[in-house]
Amino acid sequence: MSAIIILICVSLTVAVIFLIAFIWSVSSGQYADKYTPSVRMLFDENETPEDLKKDKSLPKNIKKL
């Protein structure tokens, strides 16, 4: 019997991890534009803009502003 309880705990934990990933993806705006990223990924990435995250002078939560 306890095996089932352990299994349920494990499965719920895994499920909750995915739920958290989902919540994060929604709140970081990944559902706002469902088309452009599909095009963007096909461009060559030889040169990218200065990485916003590395530039410490910029506020961290710039995407959410």
- Using CB under 8 A as the criterion, which residues of the chain lie in contact with another protein when the complex forms? 1, 4-5, 8, 12, 15, 18-19, 22-23, 26-27, 29, 31-36, 39-40, 42-44, 47, 49-50, 52, 55, 57-59, 62, 65
Closest alpha carbon to 58 in 49, 27, 43, 13 = 49
Measured CA to CA, the distance from residue 20 to residue 50 in angstroms comes to 29
Shortest Å distance, C-beta 27 to another protein: 7
Report the nearest approach of another protein to the CB of residue 15 (Å).
6
d(CA 26, CA 31): 6
